[in-house]
C-alpha cells in the first residue's frame, strides 16, 4: 500500500508520471470507489504538497498534472462565470458552489419530492452558504432566475453548531460515551438539543437547516469514523397494505474515503433503543445507501449527477 513517503512513478492505468504537454491525451481520471491495486490518491503520496498546484508547472510544482489543464479549464468554465449579463459580485458564494447542486433542488421541486436539506460543514462558511440559499430561493441565481422556494431560505434560527461531549456513568472510571449536542448559532452557551433523539426531532421537522460540525473533535480523534459528522439510519416503519416507510438520511461529501480508519462521516444506527456509531468497515458498507462520496469532477460535468445518486440510493433501500 502506498504511503505519504513514497513517490509513485505511474498513474493508476500504468501511464508514466512525467511532465506531459497539454496537447497529449491524458490518462482517464479515476473516480471509482474501489482503488485499483497498488494505487492511492495523489495527495496521499510524497507529492501531497503539490496537490493544489497539480495542473501548474512552475518553480513551486513539478507539473505532473499539466496534461489535465484543459480539463481544469473546462471544469472552471462549468461553474458560474462572471459576465455582463448579471451583476453578481465575484465575492458571492455562487461562484464557489457547483451548479448541479442548485439544479438538483430545482428538479426536486418539479418532481414534488418532500425532503429536508441539511447543510453540513467543518469550516466557517455556513453564513456564506445561507446567503447563497436565500438568494437562490428568491430567484437571484443567474442560471435559475425563475426558481422560487420559500422553504429553502436559511435563517439564523435554523443554523447550529454541532459539538461532541463526553458523558460519564456513575463510575468516573467507566467508559465514556460521546454525546452530540446542537448549540445555538449565536449563543455558544445555549444548548438547543442534547443527544441523537432531541437533535433529530429538530432537524427532521425543518425544511432546511445548517450545522457546523465538530472539526476539533474529529481531528483530535485522528479522523476516526465515530468522531465524524453524524448521519442517522432509521429502521423501516410498517404502514398499510404491507408496505413500509422510513426517513432516509443521505449524506453527500467529497471527502469520504474507502478507508475503515479515516471517515469524515459517523454513520449512526439504533439498536435496542440506543444509538451507536458504526465501525469503520460498517461505514464503508453504507456507501451509496446512506453515504455518497462526491467525485467533484463528475458533479460539475453532469448536471443530474446528484439526482442519479438519490435515485440509486432509493432503489437500493426499496429493493
The DSSP 8-state label assigned to residue 257 in this structure reads -
Task: Give pLDDT, residue 284.
Answer: 96
Average pLDDT for residues 196-200, to the nearest whole number?
96
231-240 mean pLDDT: 70
Asked whether 11 and 42 are in contact (CB, 8 A), the reply is no
Beta strand 208-212 pairing with 159-167: parallel
Q: Is the pLDDT of residue 238 over 70?
A: no
Of 146, 99, 136, residue with least CA distance to 302: 99
Contact yes or no for 71/25 (Cβ under 8 A) = no
Q: pLDDT of 294-315, one tens digit each?
A: 999 999 999 999 999 999 999 9
Range among 9-23, 244-258, 301-315 with highest mean pLDDT value: 301-315
Mean pLDDT of 190-213: 97
Mean of pLDDT values over 204-233: 96
Domain residue spans of the chain: 1-78, 93-318
Indicate the angle between helix axes 99-111 and 305-318, nearest 10 degrees.
50
Contact criterion met (CB below 8 Å) for 13 and 27: yes
Question: Torsion over CA of 292, 293, 298 and 304, rounded to 10 degrees?
Answer: 10
Q: Is pLDDT at 137 greater than 90 in this prediction?
A: yes
C-beta of residue 104 within 8 angstroms of C-beta of residue 306: yes
Interior CA angle at 299 toward 295 and 302, to 5°?
Answer: 130
- CA nearest 134: which of 92, 83, 186? 92
How far, in Å, CA of 42 to CA of 35, rounded?
A: 12
Average pLDDT, the chain: 90
Dump pLDDT digits (tens) for 80-105. 998 888 989 999 999 999 999 999 99
Closest CA to 196 of 273, 120, 272, 253: 273
When pLDDT is averaged across residues 124-151 and rounded to a whole number, the result is: 97
Q: Does residue 19 have a pLDDT over 80?
A: no
Whether the pLDDT of residue 189 is over 90: the answer is: yes
Bridge pairing between strands 177-184 and 159-167? antiparallel
> What pLDDT score was predicted for residue 232?
96
Higher-confidence position of 133 and 21: 133
- Position 20 pLDDT exceeds 80: no
Dihedral angle sign, alpha carbons of residues 292, 294, 298, 303: positive
**176 CB-near residues (< 8 Å, 6+ apart):** 166, 167, 168, 169
* 252 DSSP β-pair partners: 292
**Is residue 241's pLDDT more than 60?**
no
Q: Read off the pLDDT of each residue in 121-135 and give the average, rounded to a whole number.
A: 97
Sign, CA torsion 121/110/92/54: positive
User: Would you say 229 and 267 are in contact if contact means Cβ atoms under 8 Å apart?
Assistant: no
pLDDT band at 114 (very low <50, low <70, confident <90, very high): very high
Q: Which three cell numbers stand for residue 101?
A: 447542486
> Distance between CA 182 and CA 190 in Å, rounded?
9
Amino acid at each position: 500500500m502506498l504511503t505519504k513517503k513514497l513517490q509513485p512513478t505511474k498513474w493508476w492505468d500504468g501511464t508514466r508520471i512525467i511532465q506531459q504537454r497539454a496537447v497529449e491525451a491524458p490518462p482517464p481520471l479515476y473516480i471509482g470507489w474501489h482503488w485499483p491495486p497498488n494505487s492511492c490518491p495523489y495527495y496521499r503520496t510524497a507529492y501531497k504538497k503539490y496537490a493544489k498546484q497539480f495542473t501548474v508547472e512552475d518553480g513551486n510544482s513539478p507539473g505532473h498534472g499539466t496534461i489535465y489543464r484543459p480539463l481544469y479549464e473546462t471544469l472552471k468554465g462549468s461553474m458560474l462565470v462572471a459576465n455582463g449579463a448579471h451583476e453578481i459580485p465575484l465575492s458571492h458564494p455562487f461562484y464557489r458552489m457547483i451548479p448541479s447542486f442548485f439544479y438538483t433542488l430545482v428538479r426536486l421541486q418539479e418532481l414534488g419530492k418532500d425532503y429536508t436539506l441539511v447543510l453540513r460543514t467543518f469550516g466557517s462558511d455556513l453564513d456564506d452558504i445561507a446567503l447563497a440559499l436565500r438568494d437562490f430561493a428568491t430567484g437571484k441565481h443567474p442560471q435559475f432566475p425563475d426558481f422560487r422556494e420559500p422553504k429553502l431560505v436559511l435563517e439564523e434560527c435554523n443554523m447550529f453548531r454541532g459539538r461532541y461531549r463526553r458523558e460519564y456513568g456513575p463510575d468516573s472510571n467507566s467508559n465514556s460515551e460521546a454525546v452530540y449536542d446542537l448549540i445555538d448559532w449565536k449563543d455558544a452557551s445555549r444548548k438547543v438539543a442534547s443527544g441523537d433523539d432531541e437533535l433529530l426531532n429538530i432537524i427532521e421537522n425543518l425544511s432546511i437547516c445548517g450545522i457546523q460540525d465538530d472539526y476539533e473533535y474529529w481531528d483530535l480523534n485522528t479522523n476516526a469514523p465515530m468522531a465524524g459528522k453524524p448521519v442517522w439510519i432509521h429502521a423501516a416503519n410498517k404502514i398499510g397494505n404491507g408496505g413500509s416507510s422510513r426517513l432516509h438520511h443521505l449524506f453527500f461529501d467529497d471527502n469520504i474515503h474507502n478507508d475503515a480508519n479515516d471517515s469524515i462521516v459517523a454513520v449512526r444506527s439504533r439498536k435496542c433503543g440506543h444509538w451507536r456509531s458504526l465501525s469503520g468497515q460498517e461505514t464503508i458498507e453504507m456507501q451509496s445507501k446512506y453515504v455518497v462520496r462526491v467525485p467533484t469532477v463528475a458533479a460539475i460535468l453532469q448536471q443530474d449527477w446528484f439526482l442519479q445518486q438519490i435515485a440509486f440510493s432509493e432503489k437500493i433501500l426499496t429493493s
